[in-house]
Chains A and B, each alone.
Chain A
Amino acid sequence: RKEVEQDPGPFNVPEGATVAFNCTYSNSASQSFFWYRQDCRKEPKLLMSVYSSGNEDGRFTAQLNRASQYISLLIRDSKLSDSATYLCVVNGNTNTGFQKLVFGTGTRLLVSP
């Protein structure tokens, strides 16, 4: 089982739609959770951190469910510029105890006019 799993999509939605992505993780000891955005042929960039109580940043809402070990990202009023791949990221332990970031393979979103 992969440490972080995401539906690869693509999710095709019209402008103005609401779309949600889920991500599951296997390490119950994980403490840090993030959503990154990656545009085609570009580097990943932090979209938002995910807090236990859930958090919102404009049209974006992230939620964490520790009991079920999943993270969600909700995008409201989708814009053409939201078209990208969204990476779910969770921290995990290495053999040395160092906490590394584990990336999901990403969910591709395509917003059409």
Chain B
Amino acid sequence: NAGVTQTPKFRVLKTGQSMTLLCAQDMNHEYMYWYRQDPGMGLRLIHYSVGEGTTAKGEVPDGYNVSRLKKQNFLLGLESAAPSQTSVYFCASSPLRGGTEAFFGQGTRLTVV
């Protein structure tokens, strides 16, 4: 019963470094999402994917890239980290047809110094 798994759980980066966050789901869901959560801002959608090989921008995509080469994996990349990207990142997935319940990973706490 793994559900949605995110790695790593914690990371500290220096400004300008790059990293990739991995999200894996074993529920055969079509839709996957990356959110960031900041105090007082709620969850904001960064990028999403409606199926293998497809990605699209959410409301705060700048500074991030994503890839969905396999249905079960959704990668979030930071090419050149900035302190403004310090946040908690959540990956989620949902079955076909958007707007249904989303299942979340445990989150990744990223600090950029």
- Which of A's residues lie within 8 Å of B, judged by CB? 4, 8, 31-32, 34, 41-46, 49, 87, 91, 94, 96, 98-101, 103-106
Question: What is the chain B residue whose CB lies nearest that of A91?
Answer: B99
Q: How many B residues touch A, CB cutoff 8 Å?
A: 24
Choice from B33, B42, B50, B97 contacting A87 with Cβ under 8 Å: B42
A-B contact count (CB 8 A): 55
Indicate if the CB atoms of B98 and A46 lie closer than 8 Å. no
Residues of B within 8 Å of A106, CB to CB, are: 42
Residues of B within 8 Å of A41, CB to CB, are: 107
Q: How far is the CB of B88 from chain A (nearest CB, A)?
A: 8
- Which of B's residues lie within 8 Å of A, judged by CB? 33, 35, 40-43, 45, 48, 50, 56, 58, 90, 94, 97-107
Q: Is the interface of A mostly helix, strand, loop or mixed?
A: loop
Choice from B56, B90, B99, B107 contacting A96 with Cβ under 8 Å: B56
